[in-house]
Amino acid sequence: MSVAQTSLPDLAPIRAIYPFAQHRFRVPGGSMHYVDEGRGPVVVLLHGNPTWSFFYRRLITALRETHRVIVPDHLGCGLSEKPQDYPYRLANHIENLGLLLAQLGVNSYDLVVHDWGGAIGLGHAVQNASAVRRLVLFNTAAFLSPHLPWRIGVCKIPLLGDLAIRGLNGFAGGATLMAVERPLEPQVRAGYLLPYRSWHDRVANLRFVQDIPMHPSHPTWATVDAIDQRLGAFRHTPTLILWGGRDWCFNDYFLAGWLQRLPEARVVRYDDAGHYVLEDAHAAIVPEVANFLVR
């Protein structure tokens, strides 16, 4: 399996806002990068597509005062290696997370997820339900849905998706405009784009989109359905849902899905925040999460 990749990006332009030490762990297919900051109870933060651990930079800074904060970049994302012929299936990402947590000796943790991080994190969590103390859910899903925004559907079209995502950077680049309600500062926008500089670097951006299961014959359909069938294990787990109300992808249909499965969850809906809810509403969210995790 090919793991060759271009050189890692120079982090100097974003060091002031992403000052964390880099750690690496080998998984089947390549090397994963992860942040590991602070001491105390473990909290695991999982990003989605097309973000990376940079998405959680403010939470890392706040939580490392009271917690050990572990934030991986999924293989193909962020500062992790970007193998070109890797499967990039949900099952692969779940396996990689399990290997990393086992290597780090993590057997009890709080879980914070966004976007694809929900399916990945809960995919691992349902196999180890007793290890999960609390859940924090940003706009995400871990269950099947017939809803697919046309902007995502277009990117699933063969060849067209390749051109739009890998060639024109329409996913990572487009998200810095369409996933927020407030314009990103230039340095922040540069941070989101830094790991995705070329056709080579954007392989996982495309593969994540292709892995969205829309019919039972899709290889990941059964994986997601199996996760959903076991979400009841967290019915009484303390859960905080922080939801961007203007997210055109993970909209209120998905919020209702979570409340059906986790009816005891506390919900805070940020009516003027988009998919990158941590960008639009970080001033309110960071203390909200910090307070929830120390109760």
pLDDT tens by residue, 171-192 = 999 999 999 999 999 999 999 9
Per-residue pLDDT, 236: 98
Q: Exposed, middle or buried, 105 (CB in 10 Å: 0-12/13-18/19+)?
A: exposed
pLDDT band at 229, cuts 50/70/90?
Answer: very high
Domain count, the chain: 1
What is the rounded average pLDDT of the residues 46-69? 98
> What pLDDT score does 8 carry?
80
Query: Using an 8 Å Cβ cutoff, are 204 and 195 in contact?
Result: no
- The SS3 assignment for 191 reads helix
Q: Answer whether residue 51 is part of any domain.
A: yes
Q: Is residue 94 part of a domain?
A: yes
Does residue 4 sit within a domain? no
Phi–psi pair at 22, nearest 5 degrees: -100, 135
| Residue 5 maps to a domain | no
Q: How long is the chain? A: 295
Mean of all residue pLDDT scores within the chain: 96
Q: To the nearest 10°, the Cα dihedral for 131, 133, 138, 139? A: 50
- Identify the CATH number of the domain in which residue 223 sits: 3.40.50.1820
User: CA-CA distance, 34 to 80, in Å (whole number)?
Assistant: 8
pLDDT score for 147: 87
Find where tokens 């009484």 sit: 236
Decide if 1 is inside a domain.
Answer: no
Tokens of 35: 């942040």
User: Of 263, 90, 112, 115, nearest to 192 (Cα)?
Assistant: 115
Which residues make Cβ contacts (< 8 Å) with residue 178, sequence separation at least 6? Answer: 151, 248, 274, 275
- In Å, what is the CA distance from 293 to each residue of 66, 81, 114, 256? 9, 31, 17, 24
Give 200's strand partners.
none
With respect to residue 7, please indicate whether it lies within any of the assigned structural domains: no
For 148-172, write each residue's pLDDT tens digit.
898 899 999 999 999 999 999 999 9
Q: Residue 48 falls within a domain, yes or no?
A: yes
Q: Could you tell me the residue range of the domain that residue 273 belongs to? A: 12-294
The pLDDT value recorded for residue 2 is 41
Any domain includes 289: yes
> How far, in Å, CA of 196 to CA of 191, rounded?
10
Instruction: Please state the separation of Cα 92 from the chain's center in Å.
Output: 14
Q: State the average pLDDT over residues 135-144.
A: 98
